[in-house]
Structure 1
Amino acid sequence: MMIYLISVILASIFIIPFAIKTLSPYLWLDILYLKDLLRILVTFVSRRRRRPFFFVLDRFLEQTAAHPDKSFIVFENEHFSYTYTDRRSNQTANALLAQPGYKAGDTVALFMGNEPAFMFTWLALAKLGSPVALLNHNIRTKSLLHCFNCCKATVLIAASELKAAVEDVLPTLTEQGVTVLLMTKHCDSPGIESFSDKVDEASDSPLPRSLRSHITFKSPAVYIYTSGTTGLPKAAVVNQNRLLTALAVLASNGVTSSDVIYLNLPLYHTAGFIIGFIGSIETGSTIILKRKFSASQFWDDCRKHSVTVVQYIGEVMRYLCSKPKRENDKDHKVKLAIGNGIRAEVWKEFLNRFGNIEVREFYASTEGNVGFVNYVGKIGAIGRVNFFHQKLFPFTLIKYDTERDEPIRDDNGLCVEAPKGETGLLVSKITDIAPFVGYAQNEEQTERKKLRNVLKKGDLYFNSGDLMRIDNDNFIYFQDRVGDTFRWKGENVATNEVSDILTISDGLKEANVYGVQVPGHEGRIGMAAVTMKEGAQFDGSRIFNHVVSYLPSYARPRFIRIQNAVEVTGTFKQMKVKLVEESFDPGCIQDPLYILDNEEKSYIPLTAQVYSSIISGNIKL
């Protein structure tokens, strides 16, 4: 009998783990993920209970006290310690307090590229209790003014290289009484004050906490701009509570103070600012800051600085894989790549070429109230659905009519849930734990993102605008974006904004803008079906100069199709589905087609030969 019992116990020891692995192969990873989730929640709740209030700035001050001499930022061979960063931000704050047009708590717009001064200034404004609008440094004129005004900023701080862009809108800013500061030691433009010299001369003494005593968890911390379907960018409000939550984004993926983070994504973006910058404040890591992404310098930088963690968007990975192979491709210390938007085939190629790097694909949006993390490493998935995540952040996929651009509803007026394996629109319930704050000065767009009567009468959900699919193993996959926004070069492009810009040019009457897929490229590239004003002829050079003047490179339509009339629905909405399907193939389209040519500085005719070269990959877009 004893031998029998021993045999059963021994068999169980070996069989049960095998059975679990066979029947539920991801159970252990699910448990580990749950443990991390609970740890994050406990940390977050304990910080929420601290008095006085504990914010991201306080975590930075803790890290400065813990390792004052450690490098926080490395930029172009210059090292800036935590202590230096703290003192420089004090100088910036004290210099700003001396400006007659500013008082502590005022909203400030930051118009800068990736440089240490961006981080110093943001920390300074946090010490002063000022919300910060992070302006995309690629925007100009109308878009720049719109973004500045919709957050009610009273001060604009700009990088010296953006002086010309500021001067373009200076008359309007002056009329509004805006204080304009340029990060330079000398400025002779009336209406623009030099600021770097004043920072150099200012005291580095700490700022009293009383300057930010008015801040609560609901107070706006930053405004991050996201393209929408109405044309001009929307300012998503990221409040102090959300930013405090965001501290955990790197730590929850195993990043520690010993790690070195390579930050080459724009700091005005959610990815660069929240994951790279704010995430590193929590972990106490060192940031290797780059002005912009460079595929040719990427791995050399990683080797030079012993980088262990890199960020990506889908295009970054593809660019890296498209560079010529080198013998030292696997000679680096990178152990983790975190980001979103990587295709399955690029994911596989990246691992095969650059070695055993853990890829943590995730899904989130600046203003959204739900996110997923692919903690299992399943190639192609954006995350994994589990019971506990569903309970904390209730979400579902609902059937969506892409032709009518609206959810499908049953006879009771409720949405219809999409079964496993089928594509549906991701919607997430708006709760106290998962709130939706919305957009600054844009109640209409805030309301548009809310979806009512989803699963029962009176409920309220956030409409992500993204189509997803969940497989039988509970992995979730991104399928596409709905509505008028498409993604190119890691940027969201609002078709109505591009359409508005096109139609203010000479000669064009109407413009229907949409994104088309190109083999070998992530996302969709811009294309416009346009009509000409009566008697006008298409002038490729003029249109080229116009879009270059008004639009950042990623938003410029690469293809233009000349039509006699823009097709609309019965409710006068522009029809895009057929246009998207026809794409830019001159063999299928009778209308004249043009392609943007940067060398010719014009839109030139799109021939069958050029089309063939694009499809074959000989011409890169």
Structure 2
Amino acid sequence: MEIYLVSIVLASFLLIPFVLKTFYPYVWMDILYFRDLLRILVRFVSRRRRRPLFFVLDRFLEQTAARPDKPFIVFGDESFTYASTDKRSNKLAHALQTLPGFTAGDTVALFMGNEPAFVFTWLALAKLGSPVALLNHNIRTKSLLHCFSCSKAKVLIAAAELKEAVEDVLPSLIEQDVTVLLMTEHCDTPGIQSFCRKVDEASDAPLPRSLRSHLTYKSPAVYIYTSGTTGLPKAAVVNQNRLLTALVILSSNGVSASDVIYVNLPLYHTAGFFVGFIGGIETGSTLILKKKFSASQFWDDCRKHRVTVIQYIGEVLRYLCNTPKRDNDREHKVRLAIGNGVRAEIWREFINRFGNIEVKEFYASTEGNVGFVNYAGKIGAIGRVNFLHKKLFPYTLIKYDTELDEVIRDSNGLCVEAPKGETGLLVSKITDIAPFVGYAQNEAQTEKKRLRNVLKKGDLYFNSGDLMRIDTDNFIYFQDRVGDTFRWKGENVATTEVSDIMTLSECLKEANVYGVQVQGHEGRVGMAAVTVKEEVQFDGGKIYKHVVGYLPSYARPRFIRIQNTVELTGTFKQMKLKLVEQGFDPEQIQDPLYILNDSEKSYIPLTVQVYNSIISGNTKL
């Protein structure tokens, strides 16, 4: 009898894994995720308790002490070790201290593309305890001045190739008594100081910790600009605490010091800065820094530098899949791709073509207070929801009326939760653990992201502006963005900003900007329904020149539709839904249609032939 009972017990234990795998297929992955989450929390809390206060810079200094001769930044044929990076940033910090009127702790704006100087300068400013505004190097004139002013920076440091862009706004900067520094040996423009020689001549001695003794975890560390539903870009305030949490992104995904990370996304953006740069500091990895993404050079770079980890946004993987197939497509060392925004079909195509690369899709936003990680590797999902995660960072999906562009509330004035399987707006509770800091110098836009009386009277949630869906297996999927923002070429485009700029032109009276889907393209391409001023002819050449002069390439409307009037809702909002649905088919639309043509430097009539070429994939946008 005892042997029989023992046999039953043993059989039961042997059956447990089978039962779990059959009825709870993701339970072991959930357990491993809980373990990783706990380890991250313990590390974060232990760092928060350190005295003096521990910041991202301190982690860099730890890595420099531990591996001084290891390459940290590789840029083309140049290589900079952790120690040489540290010393170069010391020189920059000492040179900055010699500037009249500059005090350690003053905010500085960095106007620079992906290059080692970006890394050196940020580290230098961190050593001085100065917040840094990371300006998009594609912006010009009005947008540039707006973004600069948001941060209340006293100094602008710009790359040499951006001299003309700086000169365009120089009178306004001089009027604000801003110190303008150009990363060059010589500059003959009055009001702009060349800075490289001062840096070369400065000391590389370590900076005293006392220079940043004023910092707390609530102090702003960086300002990262994000397009919102209305107006010009907003400066999301990333404080020292938020930056400290960013350290764990790469290490929580199994990245270590032995990895080589390919950073080709802009450092002024959350993905390049947080995941690539800051994440690399945490892990002690080598960063292969690329000026900009190039699909044709991508895998050759990876092979040359023995890259093991790559970053992506959805479009990156699609662009790679669209390159001509080669015999050596699978000849590389890449084992992990981490990023967000990849469609399920592109995900499948990518791993089928380029090999067994683990794709770690995640969801997060610059200013948001909740994120998800697809740790189970479910193709198409942005993450997996579970009890522990929701307990630490309370969130829910609520019903949303996309036509009225507002949340749906019940008779008690509370929001209505969307059931599993249905699309809803992601909102996350604002708590001490999950705060929402908001936007610099923009309380109105900060308040717009706060949602009150969600599940009970008096509660406060962050409105992500993203529509999601949770399936029966607890995987969460991104569905769409709400409001007046669409995504194109990996960038968020604020339609109101584009509309305002278009109506500054000589011949346009009104402009209703929106995004339309194009088969074979990720995101939505910009289109504008416009009205022309009385007694003025539409001039495609002048509009092209105006748009190119004011907007970066990703924000320029590719299509223009001329209407007699711009339709408005009862609350005087521009109607977009019908326009989005109608798209840009000249056989379906009676209004005159135009397409942006870079070779002719004009908006030219959109013919049926050109339309068919776009739809067939022969013409790329």
Match of 1:453 in 2: 453
CA–CA separation in structure 1 for the residues paired with 2:585 and 2:11? 64
Give the SS at the match of 1:150: helix
Match of 2:150 in 1: 150
Match of 2:195 in 1: 195
Match of 1:438 in 2: 438
CA–CA separation in structure 1 for the residues paired with 2:285 and 2:13? 41
Match of 1:364 in 2: 364
Which runs of 4 or more aligned residues in structure 1 lie more than 2 Å from their structure 2 counterparts after TM superposition? none
CA–CA separation in structure 1 for the residues paired with 2:208 and 2:596? 54
Match of 1:4 in 2: 4
CA–CA separation in structure 1 for the residues paired with 2:617 and 2:497? 29
Confirm or deny that 1:259 pairs with 2:247: no
Identity %: 81
Give the SS at the match of 1:232: coil
CA–CA separation in structure 1 for the residues paired with 2:461 and 2:403? 22
Q: What whole-Å deviation, never above 9, does each CA across 1:153-174 have from its counterpart, x for those lacking one? A: 0000000000000000000000
TM-superposed deviation, 1:129: 0.4
CA–CA separation in structure 2 for the residues paired with 1:20 and 1:182? 62
Q: What whole-Å deviation, never above 9, does each CA across 1:372-415 have from its counterpart, x for those lacking one? A: 00000000000000000000000000000011100000000000
Q: What whole-Å deviation, never above 9, does each CA across 1:515-564 have from its counterpart, x for those lacking one? A: 00000111100000000000111111111111111000000000000000
**Counterpart of 2:567 in structure 1: which amino acid?**
E
CA–CA separation in structure 2 for the residues paired with 1:228 and 1:417? 24
TM-superposed deviation, 1:571: 1.5
Match of 1:97 in 2: 97
Q: What whole-Å deviation, never above 9, does each CA across 1:340-359 have from its counterpart, x for those lacking one? A: 00000000000000000000
**Counterpart of 1:366 in structure 2: which amino acid?**
T
Match of 1:17 in 2: 17
Match of 1:513 in 2: 513
Give the SS at the match of 2:151: coil
TM-superposed deviation, 1:13: 3.1
Q: Structure 2 unaligned runs (5+)? A: none
Confirm or deny that 1:213 pairs with 2:213: yes
Q: What whole-Å deviation, never above 9, does each CA across 1:167-224 have from its counterpart, x for those lacking one? A: 0000000011000000001111100000011100000011111110000000000000
**Counterpart of 2:503 in structure 1: which amino acid?**
T
**Counterpart of 2:240 in structure 1: which amino acid?**
Q
CA–CA separation in structure 1 for the residues paired with 2:516 and 2:401? 19
TM-superposed deviation, 1:2: 3.1
Q: What whole-Å deviation, never above 9, does each CA across 1:249-273 have from its counterpart, x for those lacking one? A: 0000000000000000000000000
Correspondence 1:480-491 to 2 at 5 A: 480-491=480-491
TM-superposed deviation, 1:599: 1.1
Give the SS at the match of 1:91: helix
Confirm or deny that 1:118 pairs with 2:124: no
CA–CA separation in structure 2 for the residues paired with 1:37 and 1:320? 32
CA–CA separation in structure 2 for the residues paired with 1:556 and 1:585? 19
**Counterpart of 1:236 in structure 2: which amino acid?**
A
Match of 1:108 in 2: 108
TM-superposed deviation, 1:448: 0.2
CA–CA separation in structure 2 for the residues paired with 1:161 and 1:128? 26
CA–CA separation in structure 2 for the residues paired with 1:196 and 1:289? 21
CA–CA separation in structure 2 for the residues paired with 1:366 and 1:524? 21
Correspondence 1:344-423 to 2 at 5 A: 344-423=344-423
Match of 2:462 in 1: 462
CA–CA separation in structure 2 for the residues paired with 1:101 and 1:470? 54
Give the SS at the match of 2:181: strand
Structure 1 contact 337–360 (Cα < 8 Å) conserved: yes
Structure 1 contact 220–239 (Cα < 8 Å) conserved: yes
Match of 1:241 in 2: 241
**Counterpart of 1:452 in structure 2: which amino acid?**
R
Correspondence 1:164-179 to 2 at 5 A: 164-179=164-179
CA–CA separation in structure 2 for the residues paired with 1:618 and 1:5? 71
Q: What whole-Å deviation, never above 9, does each CA across 1:473-514 have from its counterpart, x for those lacking one? A: 000000000000000000000000100110000100000000
Worse-superposed segment, 429-438 or 94-103: 94-103
The two structures have a TM-score, normalised by structure 2, of: 1.00
Match of 1:323 in 2: 323
CA–CA separation in structure 2 for the residues paired with 1:242 and 1:547? 36
Structure 1 contact 113–291 (Cα < 8 Å) conserved: yes
TM-superposed deviation, 1:565: 0.2
Structure 1 contact 516–527 (Cα < 8 Å) conserved: yes
Confirm or deny that 1:56 pairs with 2:29: no
CA–CA separation in structure 2 for the residues paired with 1:158 and 1:276? 22
**Counterpart of 2:262 in structure 1: which amino acid?**
Y
TM-superposed deviation, 1:3: 2.9
TM-superposed deviation, 1:459: 0.2
TM-superposed deviation, 1:4: 1.2
TM-superposed deviation, 1:231: 1.7
Q: What whole-Å deviation, never above 9, does each CA across 1:12-68 have from its counterpart, x for those lacking one? A: 233110000111000000010011101000000000000000000000000000000
**Counterpart of 2:146 in structure 1: which amino acid?**
H
CA–CA separation in structure 1 for the residues paired with 2:185 and 2:13? 72
**Counterpart of 1:30 in structure 2: which amino acid?**
D
CA–CA separation in structure 2 for the residues paired with 1:197 and 1:231? 39
Q: What whole-Å deviation, never above 9, does each CA across 1:96-131 have from its counterpart, x for those lacking one? A: 000113110000000000000000000000000000
Structure 1 contact 308–335 (Cα < 8 Å) conserved: yes
TM-superposed deviation, 1:462: 0.1
Q: What whole-Å deviation, never above 9, does each CA across 1:305-324 have from its counterpart, x for those lacking one? A: 01000000000000000001
Match of 1:539 in 2: 539
Correspondence 1:288-327 to 2 at 5 A: 288-327=288-327
CA–CA separation in structure 2 for the residues paired with 1:188 and 1:127? 30
Structure 1 contact 111–156 (Cα < 8 Å) conserved: yes
Structure 1 contact 101–178 (Cα < 8 Å) conserved: no
Q: What whole-Å deviation, never above 9, does each CA across 1:400-444 have from its counterpart, x for those lacking one? A: 001110000000000000000000000000000000000000000
TM-superposed deviation, 1:587: 1.2
Structure 1 contact 68–82 (Cα < 8 Å) conserved: yes
Match of 2:133 in 1: 133
CA RMSD of aligned residues (A): 0.6
CA–CA separation in structure 2 for the residues paired with 1:33 and 1:332? 28
Confirm or deny that 1:286 pairs with 2:286: yes
CA–CA separation in structure 2 for the residues paired with 1:106 and 1:611? 52
**Counterpart of 2:54 in structure 1: which amino acid?**
F
**Counterpart of 1:351 in structure 2: which amino acid?**
I
CA–CA separation in structure 2 for the residues paired with 1:359 and 1:74? 24
Match of 2:35 in 1: 35
Worse-superposed segment, 505-514 or 95-104: 95-104
CA–CA separation in structure 2 for the residues paired with 1:544 and 1:413? 47
CA–CA separation in structure 2 for the residues paired with 1:255 and 1:12? 38
TM-superposed deviation, 1:8: 1.3
Give the SS at the match of 2:272: helix
**Counterpart of 1:237 in structure 2: which amino acid?**
V
TM-superposed deviation, 1:230: 1.9
CA–CA separation in structure 2 for the residues paired with 1:410 and 1:570? 22
Match of 1:65 in 2: 65
TM-superposed deviation, 1:5: 2.4
Give the SS at the match of 1:462: strand
**Counterpart of 2:95 in structure 1: which amino acid?**
A
CA–CA separation in structure 1 for the residues paired with 2:103 and 2:52? 22
Q: What whole-Å deviation, never above 9, does each CA across 1:68-103 have from its counterpart, x for those lacking one? A: 000000001111000000000000000000011311
